[in-house]
Structure 1
Amino acid sequence: MTQFFGDIAPLNYDPQSDGLAFRHYNPDAMVAGKRMEDHLRFAVAYWHSFAWPGGDPFGGQTFARPWMDDTMAGARLKADVAFEMFELLNAPYFCFHDADIRPEGASFAESRRNFEEIIDIFEAKMATSKTRLLWGTANLFSNRRFMSGAATNPDPDIYAWSAATVKLCLDATHRLGGENYVLWGGREGYETLLNTDLSQELDHMGRFLAKVVDYKHKIGFKGAILVEPKPQEPTKHQYDYDVATVYGNLKRFGLEGEVQMNIEQGHAILAGHSFEHEIAMAASLGIFGSIDMNRNDYQSGWDTDQFPNNVPEVALAYYEILKAGGFTTGGTNFDAKLRRQSLDPVDLIAAHAGAMDVCARGLKAAAAMLEDGSLEAARAERYAGWQTPAAKAMLDADLATIAARVEAEGLDPQPVSGRQEILENIVNRFV
């Protein structure tokens, strides 16, 4: 055991507690016929919890973590602390990038050896831990070599480096029994068309993704391949802007049956959508996979990656997830980081505990809304006209036939209220 968390004890469900405890998240509580833990499938993000130093665009490191020395000794200590935190939180899953868990070597081969040593440690720790791997991924955005992208980079050697990195991370994810593999194209986009061959970059991105899918099948990885939409930040014109944009790219390369979405709350907002919109869109297109749970500061206008604390917002997200049948291989990954003034180890535990409680409250509200049925009944009533034989036949008719019917029947349709405020009032009964 390390000394980082001191005498903090494992958290339990205790609604009356005045200390560190879960007041709403009870892993064994039954919600809509399933254990709460099995619905929510919480994951801790290795990067924000253990690798992020507490900087922002205007200031550097504020977290004085004993493992942040860019050495293998530090990486081993970081792994020890991570699994201690997983135990304190009773976390069912975690997620990582390659760069989160190992120091950068002087060559690709050295970085690979560093990475594989930590994967050995993970494998040994997971043998005696309940915590599984929700997904792995590759960091193809932080190093300066990726300043012009990875799969879309104009330099073929960087494309090759990126492909080798993804292979390494997918191999490790498979070895650790990961349930998904995520591709997050943080630099896959462009700043100006003056130096960009848009058609070539999109072609390379699609070919790269197809290679990942092919390799998944080659090694027998049974998990899902997920793409995470990300608009604007850091690249001005991001190729994976939102769910609909990604779906268009998948259709172009015939990958819509092979790839699903990992949707982040903060990214949805930056794309001009709501979180529940992006989830519903992915579900309607048959590509919903998993979520990154966080929130933005709506006054800042950028991706602040804060822990969730808005129960009504979270409830609407889980409502769409439950409507879609819930998670299969996906889950709720806390892609969230402490505020840079929250320096103490207890802040890290409290942030996750509070977020897990918020999600538990949102899940219970979502399940109650579905069981009540008022929202779905109102939706069915609004579209009831489409259940008539004439309406169904119209979908297959040509414009001339439809126009003739309008005149023959003397149609004079009048608008009907959408009752948005009434429906919002129904939601407010539960949240």
Structure 2
Amino acid sequence: MKKVGLLLILLGLSAASFLVFAEAPTCPADLGGKCDDSDDWKGEFFAGIPKIKYEGPSSKNPLAFKWYNAEEEILGKKMKDWFRFSVAFWHTFRGTGGDPFGAPTKFWPWEDGTNSLAMAKRRMRANFEFLKKLGVEWWCFHDRDIAPDGQTLEEANKNLDEVVELAEELQKESKIRPLWGTAQLFLHPRYMHGAATSSEVGVYAYAAAQVKKAIEVTHYLGGENYVFWGGREGYQSLLNTDMGRELDHLARFFEAAVAYKKKIGFNGTFLIEPKPQEPTKHQYDWDAATSANFLRKYGLIGEFKLNIECNHATLSGHTCHHELETARLNGLLGNIDANSGDAQTGWDTDQFLTDVAEATMIMFSVIKNGGLAPGGFNFDAKLRRESTDVEDLFIAHISGMDTMARGLRNAAKLIEEGTLGEVVSKRYSSWDSELGKQIEEGKADFEYLEKKAKEWGEMKVASAKQELAEMIFQSAL
């Protein structure tokens, strides 16, 4: 039995599971034993799967959209432009189905058991075939999930360049582009203490070089955003952590990234993806409010927006709607990682979002935001361990896209009917008074407010009509 090196299954992260080989991979048998990293695959990866079409709510075809009609206009904008759906390369093409208690369960037909350049190119071809059949024009990637790492930074960059050249070639045949790119700064042992917040200055420098290259690649491929996900930017214990110094270092890292972005003419949006914990006990971008505070403190508020992941909102004790509204009200809503968690499971399960009520609330925020462009909806979601057919990849994405489309239709209906808005307006109607206007304009001091309180005496407090609001909301579902 040939030794293929150490198999590491990374679990519980928004970056999913990866197959990483500590030693050089063996030669794929179906490439004739050649180890020149040639890309000899010319076949179809998803044979028998047609291009997914819209067939309407009455359709029973699992490989058809029931609610997502890309060209249909809702509130003056095409559905595809409200969403700008994206497929996550790491979950879809690198996910293994492994979990903390079991080995991988997914063995896709394009995989050969290696992490060679030839294998990386084959995955990239599969990615573009999948995107075209699904009818999606965007994809997202980490540098190390589309190309093998190297023994040196130079080797890793060379590997990445070779795969990126293929991706650029495949993009020429379509409108497909990266919604965003990012650097994987959490898997390699060098990042055990973090990357931009590492206690080792050499690791900080390596991380900067890796991010520099990832920004260049994203720019080269026409990506419209770049994401910073600080998987290990936090601490396990404050007893051995200089938190103030680490936060300062993180800010310097972001400042340098902004300077380099401007230097190379990359006009894409920088996004920070909040997450409270896992793998660290406490991460510095805990939630939207924490991230906004960090950006303000260090004068970076105008340089970044937030990529809100729904499953991360759950882990931080919030709803996805809360996180989106917090980001929106701070002018920071840039992108959404559309997924959900399991209420009975304590980790980041990254399931496809299929809750229509949650999707409706999400779309309230997106509509109020005027859309997400240049951001969009990235399916940072993976198949469950027990789903192992290639067809399941399509079914999962179709289900997620249909759910969000139903959410958009519901939210638009509620906005157009105006009944829910009337409940809110009526609840705050006292603020439309002269006194309310004076307070909101900052023209009422405490002495004046005390005078009015004495004049009015005890006030009658109106009902919030909570049950009515929920009844109206549920009626739209």
TM-score by shorter chain over 0.5: yes
CA–CA distance in 1 between the matches of 2:137 and 2:113? Answer: 25
Answering whether residue 73 of structure 2 is matched by residue 33 of structure 1, we say no
- Shift in alpha-carbon separation, 1:410–1:371, aligned structure 2, 3 A: closer
The one-letter code matched in structure 2 to 1:39 is W
Q: Which residue of 1 aligns with 2:444?
A: 397
CA–CA distance in 1 between the matches of 2:293 and 2:220? Answer: 32
CA deviation profile, 1:304-329 (whole Å, cap 9, x unmatched) = 00011111111110111101211121
Give the drift of 1:402.
2.3
Q: Which residue of 1 aligns with 2:12?
A: none
Q: Which residue of 1 aligns with 2:421?
A: 376
Instruction: Normalising by structure 1, report the TM-score.
Output: 0.97
CA deviation profile, 1:136-156 (whole Å, cap 9, x unmatched) = 011111111111111000000
CA–CA distance in 2 between the matches of 1:3 and 1:324? Answer: 40
Q: Work out which of the residue numbers 453, 458, 464 in structure 2 matches 1:406.
A: 453
Q: Which residue of 2 aligns with 1:152?
A: 197
- Shift in alpha-carbon separation, 1:67–1:402, aligned structure 2, 3 A: farther
The one-letter code matched in structure 1 to 2:198 is N
Q: Pairwise CA RMSD of aligned residues?
A: 1.3
Give the drift of 1:229.
0.3
CA–CA distance in 2 between the matches of 1:124 and 1:76? Answer: 12
CA–CA distance in 2 between the matches of 1:3 and 1:54? Answer: 23
Q: Which residue of 2 aligns with 1:417?
A: 463
CA–CA distance in 2 between the matches of 1:358 and 1:406? Answer: 49
CA–CA distance in 1 between the matches of 2:186 and 2:432? Answer: 49
Is the 8 Å Cα contact of residues 67 and 78 (structure 1) preserved in structure 2?
no
Q: Work out which of the residue numbers 179, 185, 194 in structure 1 matches 2:239.
A: 194
Answering whether residue 67 of structure 2 is matched by residue 24 of structure 1, we say yes
Is the 8 Å Cα contact of residues 40 and 332 (structure 1) preserved in structure 2?
yes
Q: Secondary structure at the match of 2:194?
A: coil
Q: Secondary structure at the match of 1:136?
A: strand
Q: Which residue of 1 aligns with 2:254?
A: 209
CA–CA distance in 2 between the matches of 1:282 and 1:74? Answer: 39
Is the 8 Å Cα contact of residues 45 and 129 (structure 2) preserved in structure 1?
no
Give the drift of 1:95.
0.4
Answering whether residue 99 of structure 2 is matched by residue 56 of structure 1, we say yes
Answering whether residue 177 of structure 2 is matched by residue 136 of structure 1, we say no
Answering whether residue 152 of structure 2 is matched by residue 113 of structure 1, we say no
Q: Secondary structure at the match of 2:96?
A: coil
Paired positions, count = 430
Give the drift of 1:347.
0.9
Q: Work out which of the residue numbers 293, 297, 300 in structure 2 matches 1:255.
A: 300
- Shift in alpha-carbon separation, 1:92–1:81, aligned structure 2, 3 A: same
CA–CA distance in 2 between the matches of 1:309 and 1:29? Answer: 21
Is the 8 Å Cα contact of residues 96 and 135 (structure 1) preserved in structure 2?
yes
Q: Secondary structure at the match of 1:340?
A: coil
CA deviation profile, 1:239-266 (whole Å, cap 9, x unmatched) = 0000000000000111111110100010
CA deviation profile, 1:359-405 (whole Å, cap 9, x unmatched) = 11111111111111122222122222222222232343333332233
CA deviation profile, 1:200-240 (whole Å, cap 9, x unmatched) = 00101111111111211111111111000001111111100
Q: How does 1:323-342 map to 2 (within 5 A)?
A: 323-342=368-387
Q: Which residue of 2 aligns with 1:101?
A: 146
The one-letter code matched in structure 1 to 2:435 is A
Q: Work out which of the residue numbers 267, 274, 279 in structure 1 matches 2:319.
A: 274
Answering whether residue 273 of structure 2 is matched by residue 228 of structure 1, we say yes
The one-letter code matched in structure 2 to 1:296 is G
Is the 8 Å Cα contact of residues 224 and 259 (structure 1) preserved in structure 2?
yes
Q: Secondary structure at the match of 2:141?
A: strand
Answering whether residue 360 of structure 2 is matched by residue 315 of structure 1, we say yes
* Percent of matched pairs sharing the same residue: 45
After the TM superposition, which segments of 4 or more aligned residues of structure 1 sit over 4 Å from their partners? none
CA–CA distance in 2 between the matches of 1:115 and 1:226? Answer: 22
Is the 8 Å Cα contact of residues 337 and 380 (structure 2) preserved in structure 1?
yes
CA deviation profile, 1:69-119 (whole Å, cap 9, x unmatched) = 111010010001111101110111100000110111111110110011111
CA–CA distance in 2 between the matches of 1:22 and 1:130? Answer: 21
Q: Which residue of 1 aligns with 2:8?
A: none
CA–CA distance in 2 between the matches of 1:336 and 1:169? Answer: 22
Question: What are structure 1's unaligned runs of at least 5 residues?
Answer: none
Q: Which residue of 1 aligns with 2:49?
A: 8
Report the more deviating stretch, 367-376 or 98-107: 367-376
Q: Which residue of 1 aligns with 2:3?
A: none
Give the drift of 1:17.
4.5
CA–CA distance in 2 between the matches of 1:230 and 1:261? Answer: 11
